[in-house]
Structure 1
Amino acid sequence: MRKNFKITIITCLLSLIAAPFLTSCSDFFEPEQEHAVNKDDRYKSLFDIQTGVLGAYSKLRNVAEQTIILGDLRADLLQVSENYDADLSELDKVTVTKGNRFVDSRGFYDIIRNCNDMIANMDGVMKKDAAFTEVVRDAHKAEMITLRSWAYLQLIRMYKEVPVTNHELDQVYEGEEIYEMYDRSRMLNWLAERMNWAIQQESLNYSNFEGTLWRKQFVNRKNLLGEIALELGAYGDAVNLFIDTIVNFGGGQNNSDLKCEGFTGDDWEETWSTSTSNYSEKLSYIPFRKSNKQQNDLEMYFSSKGKGKYLLRPTDRVIELWKAQVRKDGSLGDLKRGLGGSFTSSEFDADKKVYIDPEVSKYQFDKKPFESDAQVTIYTASDVHLMLAEALNRNGEHRRALGVVNNNADNVTGIDKSAGIRGRVGLENIDLLKFTGLDKATQLDSMLVIEDVIVRERALELAFQGRRWYDLMRVARRRNDPDFLAKRVAEQLGDEGEALRQRLRNSDNWYLPFDMYANQGN
């Protein structure tokens, strides 16, 4: 039976200050100078390994806003405001060049190098510290493999092929830049193999300090493997992994905090404020603590207040989707996830029926701009449930999949009070005939229609979390239908979107240009 290691951390290890995700080093794989020390001085004890794990995870802060902007600005959820710059305009038009600052992948490779360094040097610590046993070593190694796998998964979605390196920091610093290029298929299968080993190892549960929930700052192993399985089309495996995550990681069959039950008041909104919310559906998240001088740039991009430059705004398309949702009482409007939840606006043009200068508010910036802790989520309970629905549907379990989206009447996870994604925010169930506009159920292709429902629900629920572009890629690739992505991305532009639609019908244009030796910032 697997156990959790509870390890007490007595110093504030994650008060590490994150640097911007752009660096000025001329060598793609070159580490930061602070790491260029003798590895024997870095790793002497279990405590050094613990420090290294948390230090590696602190690197996630360097790619947080990059991940969100790349995932939603190229899709149909974000668009540039009138204050846009050239790099953002390229993303908005999906015409990205190598010089674009968001193309720089070195933040992800910084994570990978740190993980490689930890993995390569753990055996030596076993000889120096009796507390660092083989079982403890494998638990920490699994954590680094998981974090590294998450970084590689992001990269292989961003670029058509990417270099894979197993070198640790010292080796790379000495100029030994040996790597192999992996395409999507090879990468996903390699990640699945490594993660299948990782989920069998003991999990880490570092003790809390300063109110921080450490287990939720680690990338969830089984959920990551489930996401990889979903990408590979191993739908039965994905279903089992997602249910296991919801039930067991969440706290048990009937006590899981990942069960997606109903909300009252501002509970849905509060899940996006701090890690100590009364009700939290966070599964894995990246913390930013302003008290420790950790500040991301999302407020600068989204807010018009304080130091905000208001560079990006929600698209009219996603706002209209929220407005069109029907509540259980028959009234219109997604009142929890739309206005006041995911976006805000101080003015409404009654003639044009549009909100004036809408702002992304999902991260609670409008309440305490530049003061609150702006958490960036990696996985939420609703994200896991919707991936579960997607896997169920493709596994032939259409009714159960729709139940996860609607009201979970079939109780897929076996958890009491699991209300379903729409049910928990007070929205009516999706009727497939009404959704498609067809007259007869015999005309329905249930699998494809339910998949369309899930894709739309993910937009409504997960807007501004950096998931949309990759959702569209995954489904378009699965259907062998590039227009599935092209149509949705281009239609927000109206008549002007036809050229973009034609370009995106070629899947080669879905990927960012990769430059191994980018020298941006010099």
Structure 2
Amino acid sequence: MRTVFHKLKIAKAALMVAVSALLFSCSSFLEPSQDLIQDRDDHYQNLDQVRRGVIGAYAGLQDLVEELVVLGDLRADLMTTTRNYDAFLEEIELHNVSADNPYIDARPYYDIILNCNDILDNMAKAKADPQMTELQYNGLEAEVKTLRAWVYLQLARTYRKVPVVKESLNGTFGDYDPPVYGMVDMVNWLIQEMNEAIEQPVPDWRVFQKEKDKDPKEVSQPWRLTRISRKALLGELYLESGNYMRASELFYDAIISGGTGKDDLTLKCSEASGSDWRKFWEVVSIGDHVSKVEHLTAIPFSRSQHQRNGLMSLFSNNPVHSYVLKPTELAVQAWESQPRDGSSGVLFTGDFTRGLNKSYARIGIDTLVYKYMLGKSPTRNQNDAVYCIYRAADLHLLYAEAINLAGDSDKALDVINEKLDGSPKTAGVRGRVGLKGVNLQNIQDRYPEMSARKDLVEMAILEERALEFAYEGRRWNDLVRFATRSNRLTWFAETVARKFKETDPEKYKSVKNLLKDKDNWRYEMPRKTLDL
């Protein structure tokens, strides 16, 4: 069924290649090189231009980070607004959003999509370049389709209906009538796209560099850690579609192949990675230990190149920042209630590795989201915190979710508590940060209506994801996925609204009533975002 916005108005399509037209240097990721701006007729004439165009398209991900975090956490139970009033953020939190709210603007997503389409529609010209082998061409094409697929999945998670533009709109003016997909149709299409892309080679960007251009900086060039993981993305799509065994296979393979093998420490949630938990947002570099043990897909920001994410301003109570968002007390209590085993065998309370002064902090009278605030003086760091799209703990818990739903709850519980099957050097997501294993009886005591082991393990995974990924933009989608699968609408509404229960009964009642209706879980896409 078509929505009221089914015809898009194409008024400025000729400008939509702005990002990919601004081709980027591979030696300093996302660093613009002004002399590389080219006329449209000169686009994608050779291998190097295509490669740079792909990196240019990826650069658009930087513009999505603030929106991903706000929509992913403020709509849920772990984040709330502060005393510093912001009408648009309050709309998001109360699930009563106006059409001009900037946080539901889809245009940055479509900028990336249209750039991807432009590359796909024009890169065949580069086949005339002797350096553009068939393997290189297929690999680059798959990279672009993977980026586009990931962006479309985020749109489908946010909006009820999403116009799907599959071609370049350059030269197109007037009305344009693309197909419009809901979540189910979107996932089905993207699975087809990604099953084709996953069969193609992954480009080795180093082979594109000329010998004379190589220098020591290239060793740490983070492009490999910035591209979207095809296996992780396809695993997410199969998880959404209900093919849990295939999803588990893909997540497991992404963990193993994302490192260098089953017995190394990379992407394995080992005790070594747990000790570096606080540093996961500091560095994205191929040669850096932190990136090796945790990063699979991360978006870096370079202050020296004036690339800033807006998270510091949202979360910091430094007078130069706005401090408009903070952790809820529910989130703080969840960290503080975690049992930890000390080396002496004495039981402590508090998730010290991920909680206080890690995920959150108390500074003066304020509670702060802290994981993106690097070091003792964040304003003096050379780079802003990276934003992780996929990291090791995410893959482990997604694998646990999928394998539990596929019927192996014991294996899923092992991933949380102590090990990944077949990889002896792992310590489990909780084990790597020194926490006692999950006690399913405690979960059943809190949810007496749950009796099946599979349901209790699923709740354990959901709670662990909250502890691990708070303020990384995942919480809302996790809750929606769980509630949709189990049809627990009242539970979902109560879980989200409970942050208001003690402080504002009217907001608690209003939000709870709104969210009992699935139609209120996603937005209608504002018309303004579609006047391309």
Structure 1 stretch 81-90 or stretch 270-279: which is displaced more?
Answer: 270-279
- For normalisation by structure 1, the TM-score amounts to 0.88
- Residues 25 and 31, structure 2, Cα contact 8 Å, conserved in 1: no
The TM-score, its normalising length taken from structure 2, stands at: 0.86
SS at match of 2:354: coil
Cα 1:438/1:322, change in 2 over 3 Å: closer
**Any residues of structure 2 matched to 1:119-518 within 5 Å, and which?**
119-127=120-128, 129-172=129-172, 174-175=173-174, 177-207=176-206, 209=218, 211-263=220-272, 267-276=276-285, 277-280=288-291, 281-305=294-318, 307-328=320-341, 329-347=346-364, 356-365=365-374, 367-372=376-381, 373=383, 374-408=385-419, 411-412=420-421, 414-437=422-445, 444-494=451-501, 495-496=505-506, 497-518=508-529
Q: CA deviation at 1:11?
A: 4.7
Taking the aligned partners of 2:328 and 2:277, their CA distance within structure 1 comes to 21
Deviation of 1:9 after TM superposition, in Å, equals 6.7
Q: Deviations over 1:448-507 (max 9, x none)?
A: 111111101000000000000010111111012222321110111113412211210100
Deviates more, 1:250-259 or 1:143-152: 250-259
> Per the alignment, do residues 183 and 76 of structure 1 end up closer, same or farther by CA in structure 2, a change over 3 Å counting?
same
Shift of 1:249: 1.6
Q: What amino acid is aligned across from residue 67 of structure 2 in structure 1?
A: Q
Partner of 1:63: 64
Contact 2:265 2:426 in 1 (8 A): no
Q: 1:59 to 1:9 in 2, by over 3 A?
A: closer
Residues 101 and 229 from structure 1, CA distance in 2 versus in 1: closer, same or farther, beyond 3 angstroms? same
Separation in 1 of the partners of 2:29 and 2:327?
Answer: 36
Find the aligned partners of 1:439 and 1:508 in 2 and give their Cα distance. Answer: 26
Percent of aligned pairs sharing the same letter: 38
Deviations 1:75-120 (A, max 9, x none): 0111101113100001111111211111110000001001111111
2:84 and 2:324 in contact (8 A); partners too: yes
Deviation at 1:10, TM superposition (A): 6.0
Looking at structure 1, the residues matched to 63 and 377 of structure 2 have their Cα atoms a distance apart, in angstroms, of 23
Which amino acid in structure 1 is aligned with residue 494 of structure 2? K
> Contact 1:247–1:256 at 8 Å: present in 2 too?
no
> 1:9–1:209: 8 Å Cα contact kept in structure 2?
no
Question: What whole-Å deviation, never above 9, does each CA across 1:435-455 have from its counterpart, x for those lacking one?
Answer: 322899x98311111111110
Give unmatched runs, 5+ long, in structure 1: 1-7, 18-33, 348-355
Deviation at 1:203, TM superposition (A): 0.3
Q: Which amino acid aligns with 2:458?
A: E
Q: 1:102 and 2:103 equivalent?
A: yes
**Cα distance change on mapping 1:297 and 1:264 into 2, 3 Å:** closer
Q: Does the 8 A contact of 2:443 with 2:459 survive in 1?
A: no
Question: How many Å separate the matches in 2 of 1:518 and 1:161?
Answer: 13
In structure 2, relative to structure 1, the CA distance for the partners of 1:40 and 1:492 (3 Å cut) is same
Of residues 488-497 and 219-228 in structure 1, the stretch that sits farther from structure 2 once superposed is: 488-497
Taking a change above 3 Å as real, the CA distance of residues 346 and 439 of structure 1, as seen in their structure-2 partners, is closer
Cα drift, residue 263 of structure 1: 4.0
Paired AA for residue 369 in structure 1: P
Q: Cα distance, 1:124 vs. partner?
A: 1.6
Determine if contact 2:274/2:432 at 8 Å carries over to the other structure.
no
Deviations 1:48-67 (A, max 9, x none): 00110110000000111111
* SS of residue matched to 1:239: helix
Q: Structure 2: where are the runs of 5+ without partners? A: 1-23, 207-216
